[in-house]
Structure 1
């Protein structure tokens, strides 16, 4: 891992590089969403969307948003509002080719897990695409047999997966507080 690598929240100036990386990663699989759909996911949950930088270059990104358990966003439909949910849906993760196989995806996932636990989420869900389910299985995710089928939007080998998060103080006692995220102000996400 590069010593100049850092993970931070997604910012307005990241969108050109992020959408280029998303298209390069997912267009060959027929899964590219487009900028508007991607931005809508970050807009409803800016606290759970991150980029990894190596120097001044985007090395990878992760977009996650609260979503009802056992459900998933439509791939090309923009999110209109945030959901109140104890489930955090890891919607998108991509690593730039020069940074792949260096542990950056695990580092982003670790950062998301810490953030999700701190915000009181109970689990992280995702749709494994492009044959990536072994990667996610190795990170503690299991098939979510109660989830709606991902459908053709996500490709023929898509697998709904879920991983519980460690209990946090307050949650272990049965106290349930709704998780709310404020929508991003127009200057935060374009």
Structure 2
């Protein structure tokens, strides 16, 4: 059975392993950049666990509609959030197809609703838009350039029940 819980300090080595396994080199971020998302919003940063340990993770944080924080840059706190931004959902190759990614998305949705937010956003990379479309996300206008996300990046938004 796969479960989820908030990220703990001891989880970072495994999170970095999964990041290396799942993302092309130019998408890999430093521990400092990843931890800045966790420090900004620890309740919306999760790991998925299976019988053998951590099999996936999700990093998200409150943010602004139409803005995508640049990859690799630690977050600053000078914002007025109006949505939950999903920075990263990654599942180890050995756990693909287990439902762990969908479990994490459902958990993030519950976090957003519990925090009174009525939508989520993300930037789809590595041709992941079909996965996000299945979870209710649609392409939307973005105020920021998406250069750090690559040529196939798609900013996407999902409304949530209020």
Q: Which has the larger radius of gyration?
A: 1
Deviation at 1:109, TM superposition (A): 0.4
TM-score, reference length from structure 2: 0.94
> Larger strand proportion, structure 1 or 2?
2
Deviation at 1:80, TM superposition (A): 2.6
Where structure 1 has 5 or more consecutive residues not aligned to the other structure, the ranges are 168-190
Using the alignment, how far apart are the partners of 2:78 and 2:103 within structure 1? Answer: 26
Against the structure 1 CA distance between its residues 150 and 161, is the aligned structure 2 distance closer, same or farther, given a 3 Å change threshold? farther
Alignment of 1:36-185 (within 5 A): 36-81=32-77, 83-145=79-141, 147-148=142-143, 150-167=145-162
- The correspondence for 1:23, drawn from 9, 20, 25, is 20
Cα RMSD over matched residues?
1.4
Alignment check: 8 A CA contact 1:44 1:82 kept: no
Using the alignment, how far apart are the partners of 2:116 and 2:78 within structure 1? Answer: 16
SS of 1:90's equivalent?
strand
Deviation at 1:33, TM superposition (A): 1.1
SS of 2:23's equivalent?
helix
Number of residue equivalences: 162
1:47-73: CA deviation from partner (whole Å, max 9, x where unpaired): 100001113521100000111110011
Against the structure 1 CA distance between its residues 90 and 24, is the aligned structure 2 distance closer, same or farther, given a 3 Å change threshold? same
Paired residue for 2:4?
A: 7
Deviation at 1:44, TM superposition (A): 0.3
1:16-46: CA deviation from partner (whole Å, max 9, x where unpaired): 1101211221134x21111110000110000
1:101-129: CA deviation from partner (whole Å, max 9, x where unpaired): 12111111011101110110111000000
